[in-house]
Amino acid sequence: MIRSFTAAPLTAEDIAVAFPLVHAALPEIDLAMWRRFARGIVDLPSPYPAGGACLRNEGGYLCGVLTYRIERNLRHGTALNVDLFAALDVTGEEAATRALLQVAEEKARDLHCTAIRVTIEKGGVTLARRFRTSGYRAEVTIFSKPLDDEPAQA
């Protein structure tokens, strides 16, 4: 069976509907955090170097969401950085992943980017495998550390 998907920009109406996907990809993110972040993307004037997109299956159910930002990269020039990539579809998660990757690639071309860089959360082995079969390769490991209110001791 051939699957069909429809992509559209992330809207204010999509924020709450997309939360289960976001939470599945990033369990530490609660609804309030997601709302604050997503509102900042949705409310940006167009064109702007950041945004989001949703993917719906043929039944109209939201089965994918991504957020992106454009930035200059030493290795690639202008790159579309996908910070959130979540694709879940009960009848074909792999097809939803490929369709959402296509959305990212079309957005990158529309915004004149020369590369796409996608952040995959630690433990995303299946997703990483799907990316590799689509021509993506791992380039870097990113370390992060939340900063508290007190300066670090030297």
Q: How many domains does the chain have?
A: 1
Instruction: Identify the CATH number of the domain in which residue 44 sits.
Output: 3.40.630.30
pLDDT at 13: 94
Report the chain's mean pLDDT, rounded to a whole number.
86
- In the block, which residue shows the tokens 């380039």? 139
| Run of H or E residues at 55 | strand 50-57
Question: Is residue 49 included in any domain, yes or no?
Answer: yes
Question: pLDDT tens across 90-119, in order?
Answer: 766 788 898 999 999 999 999 999 999 998
Q: In what order do the strands lie in the sheet with 77-87?
A: 5-9, 50-57, 62-73, 77-87, 115-118
Question: Is residue 140 included in any domain, yes or no?
Answer: no
pTM recorded for the entire structure = 0.81
44 phi/psi in degrees, rounded to 5: -70, 145
Question: Is residue 146 included in any domain, yes or no?
Answer: no
Whether the pLDDT of residue 151 is over 90: the answer is no
The DSSP letter of residue 100 is H
In 3D space, the residue among 85, 80, 107 whose CA is nearest the CA of residue 18 turns out to be 85
* Mean pLDDT, range 39-58, rounded to an integer: 84
